[in-house]
Amino acid sequence: MVHVIVQAQVVVMTHAYGKRSGVRYMTNGLKVYYVPWRPFLMQNTLPTFYGTLPILRTILIRERISLVHGHQAFSTLCHEALMHARTMGCKVVFTDHSLYGFADIGSIHMNKVLQFTLADVNQAICVSHTSKENTVLRSGIPPEKVFVVPNAVDTAMFKPAPKRLSFDEIIIVVISRLVYRKGADLLVEVIPEVCRLFPNVRFIVGGDGPKRVRLEEMREKHSLQDRVEMLGAVPHAQVRSVLISGHIFLNSSLTEAFCIAILEAASCGLLTVSTRVGGVPEVLPDDMIVLAEPVPSDMVRAIAKAIHILPKIDPHDMHLRMKNLYSWHDVARRTEIVYDCALRCPSENLLQRLSRYLKCGAWAGKLFCLVMIVDFLFWQLLQLWKPLQDIEEVPDLVFPQHEYE
C-alpha cells in the first residue's frame, strides 16, 4: 500500500481486491485508487519494474502529489512507487513494519531490494527501536534518517467487558495466524502442559494457517476438545468479542517488530503473556505483560505467573492507560514531523542520486544505476507522449468531517 500526500490531504493507492478496481471514496472522503494489478502471492502484485510508471505518473499529476509514503518491505507496489516518485522529483518516506533475518535466501534477496529502495528515500519510519536497528543493518540507510513511530490502537473499538469475568475458570485467548513465524509450534507444546498443571484453564484459539492441523492433532492426542476451542479465522470486527471472553492473551511469536495484537488485548483489559522477541519488550509496561523466552518451559512458567497475578489486574484501569499510551492522534502528529523533514530535503538531480546507488555494491550498485537511468528515460518519454497539460487535475472536494473517540 502507498500513501500519497496532496497538500493537507491523503490519497491511498493499492492493488485491486477481487472485483474492486478504480477509484473509491472511504470514510471522511479518503480517496483510494485500486490500480488494476492483481495480487499473485501473499497479497503482492507481480513485479513489473516500469509497468506501474504510467498509471502512477497520472495519479501523482492528477492529485498534485508532493510526497509519497510507502509501506512494507515485501510490497512490490511500494518499491516501484517509491522508485518512480523519486524519478519524478517527489519526496518519499518508507515505513518498515517487520523484522527480517540475514542468513536465509529470502531475507538476503529482500535485504538487497530494501537497500536499493532506501538508498534514495528522504526519511524512513520504523515501529520500534529494535525494528530501526534491524532496518539500518539490513539496508545501510543512515540512522539519522530513520524515525521511530509506534503503532496505536483504536481504544474506542477495543473496550473491556462491562462486567468482570469470574476467576473460577481462567480463559487464555490466542488470536494469530497459525504459521511457524507466529509460534504455532510453541503452542502445540505449551497448551497440553498448561492444561495438565491448571485444571481450571481453558484456551480459545482464533486464527487460521498451515499449522492449524498440528494444533487440532494436539487437541485430539491429549483429549482436550472441551478445553481448547478452535475458532478458525476471526474477522477483525469480531476480535474484541473474542478478547473480552478471556482473562489472558497469549502471544507466541518467534519474531515481531511491534505486535499490535498485544495493544488490542491490553486495551480490552487482558493481561498479556508474550515471547521476549523483537520489539515486544518495548510495547507495554512491565506490570501489563509477562515476558518469556520462546521455549515451552519458560512459556509455561510465564503463564503460571500471569495466573497468579491476574486478580490484581483492573481491566478498566488498563484500558485508560492504553488510551493515553497509544493514540492514533499522537501517531499522526509524529508522522507529520517526518513528512516536514522529508519536504525540507533539498531537490537533487539524477547524477546526485546515482552516486548513492553506486555505493550499494560493486555489481549491485551499477545494476541499480542502470535501473534508475532506464526509469528516468521512460519518464522523459512519457513526458513527451502525454505532456503535463494534457492530464487534468482533479478538483478539491470538501467532505463533512466527523469526530470519533
Indicate the domain borders of the chain: 2-150+329-390, 170-326
This prediction has a pTM of 0.89
Are 310 and 64 in contact, with CB atoms under 8 Å apart?
A: no
Contact 45, 81 (CB under 8 A): no
Q: What is the CA 281 to chain-centroid distance, rounded?
A: 17
Per-residue pLDDT at 342 exceeds 50: yes
Structure confidence at residue 3 as a pLDDT band (50, 70, 90): low
Q: What number of other Cβ atoms are within 10 A of residue 395's Cβ? A: 5
pLDDT above 70 covers a percentage of the chain that reads 95
User: What values do phi and psi take at 203, rounded to 5?
Assistant: -110, 140
Asked if residue 99 has pLDDT above 60, the reply is yes
pLDDT digits (tens, 9 = 90+) for 237-286: 999 999 999 999 999 999 999 999 999 999 999 999 999 999 999 999 99
Q: What is the DSSP letter of 20?
A: B
Domains 2-150+329-390 and 170-326 share a fold: yes
* pLDDT value at residue 109: 85
Among 86, 12, 85, 79, residue whose Cα is nearest residue 49: 79
Contacts of residues 353-357 at CB distance under 8 Å and 24 or more positions apart, as own/partner, are 353/86, 353/120, 356/119, 356/120, 357/116, 357/119, 357/120
The pLDDT-based confidence of 20 (bands split at 50, 70, 90) is confident
Note the pLDDT of residue 5: 56
> Looking at residue 2, what is its pLDDT?
66
Q: Measuring CA to CA, which residue among 146, 126, 91, 119 is closest to residue 339? A: 91
Per mean pLDDT, which range of 51-60, 99-108, 240-249 is the poorest? 99-108
For 170-326, CATH number out of 1.10.3720.10, 3.40.50.2000, 3.40.50.11900, 3.40.50.10470 equals 3.40.50.2000
**Do 294 and 320 touch, CB atoms closer than 8 A?**
no
Across the chain, mean pLDDT equals 91
Q: Read off the pLDDT band of 399 (50, 70, 90).
A: low
- What pLDDT band is residue 204 in, cutting at 50, 70 and 90? very high
Residue 143, pLDDT score: 95
On the question of pLDDT at 130 being above 80, the answer is yes
Per-residue model confidence (pLDDT) at position 12: 93
pLDDT tens readout for residues 75-89: 889 999 999 999 999
The predicted pLDDT at position 147 comes to 97
Quick one: which H or E segment has residue 94?
strand 91-96
pLDDT score, position 404: 46
In this prediction, residue 110 has a pLDDT band, given cuts at 50, 70 and 90, of: confident
Report pLDDT for 72.
84
| Alpha-carbon gap, residue 290 to 73, rounded angstroms | 30
Mean pLDDT across 373-392: 94
Give me the residue label for grid cell 493507492.
13
Is pLDDT above 70 for 42?
Answer: no
Rg of the chain taking only CA atoms, in angstroms:
24
The C-alpha cell that represents 384 in the structure block: 513527451
**Closest by CA position to 58, among listed 115, 17, 11, 97:** 11
With pLDDT > 90 as the criterion, what percentage of the chain qualifies? 77
The CATH topology of domain 2-150+329-390 is Rossmann fold (3.40.50)
DSSP E strands, 200-252: 201-206, 228-232, 248-251
pLDDT of residue 405: 43
